[in-house]
Amino acid sequence: MAAPATALQEWLLRHAPDGSPATLPSNILRAFDADDLSLLPVFVAHAWQEHLRSEVSRGLREASDAEQQRLEAVFHAQIGLGDEHDGDLALQLGRAVDRRLVACHRFLHLTAQPMPDGRRWFRLEISHSPVAPGGLPETVQMSAVESESQARAICESIHEVLATRGFQASAEQGLFHLEGPQLGALVAILKRLALPESEALMALAA
């Protein structure tokens, strides 16, 4: 009776034309027979390692999902919520909450203002709308954030650092001048702080 195939051998067989060792290329067949990863061509060995990493990630996700479901079941039992519930009410509640949460979103607009001397000055503003205060052509970056308080905290922090670094030198409050690398740093931070794209799209559609 043939010994059961190892995980590596099973994976190699999935790439065989007819699923049998006989149709494996000779350089892969040697590694299959010896069950030895070191005998595989480099690109095949790399694909096996990627497969292992993917399997580990999938296992972690499944374990996390299972634990979340267990905790939810315990909580539901504690409050007397059985397996059956009013699906229509749950849908209405969910939609109502989502609409209110989207209404809390604010938009940070980084806009550019050309000056007579040819330089460009920038302004960071908060609004309720994804449409830039100065018009779309002036927009450098638009980022949706969770709330008014979060938007203000972000703006205040950014202005504090810019003032300390000497970039906020305009007599007109809120304007600052940045060159390419510094502007790139600010845009990167605004992108990192923005809501995930799916939530931002919800806000745009609201």
The answer for residues whose C-beta is within 8 angstroms of residue 34's C-beta and 6 or more apart is: none
By CB neighbour count within 10 A (0-12 exposed, 13-18 middle, 19+ buried), where does 53 fall?
exposed
pLDDT (tens digit, 9 = 90+) per residue, 140-166?
Answer: 888 999 999 999 999 999 988 988 888
- What's the order of all strands across the beta sheet hosting 139-145? 139-145, 106-114, 120-127, 175-176
Residues 60-115: tens digit of each pLDDT: 888 888 888 887 777 777 766 666 667 678 778 878 888 888 888 899 999 888 87
Helices (H) and strands (E) in the chain, counts: 7, 4
Residues 6+ away with beta carbon under 8 Å from 44: 28, 31
**What count of other Cβ atoms lies within 10 Å of the Cβ of residue 8?**
18
Comparing C-alpha atoms, which of 169, 161, 158 is closest to residue 192? 158
Closest to 124 in 3D by CA, of 91, 161, 89: 161
| Among 18-32, 153-167, 172-186, the range of highest mean pLDDT | 153-167
pTM of the complete model: 0.53
Q: What is the pLDDT of residue 190?
A: 92
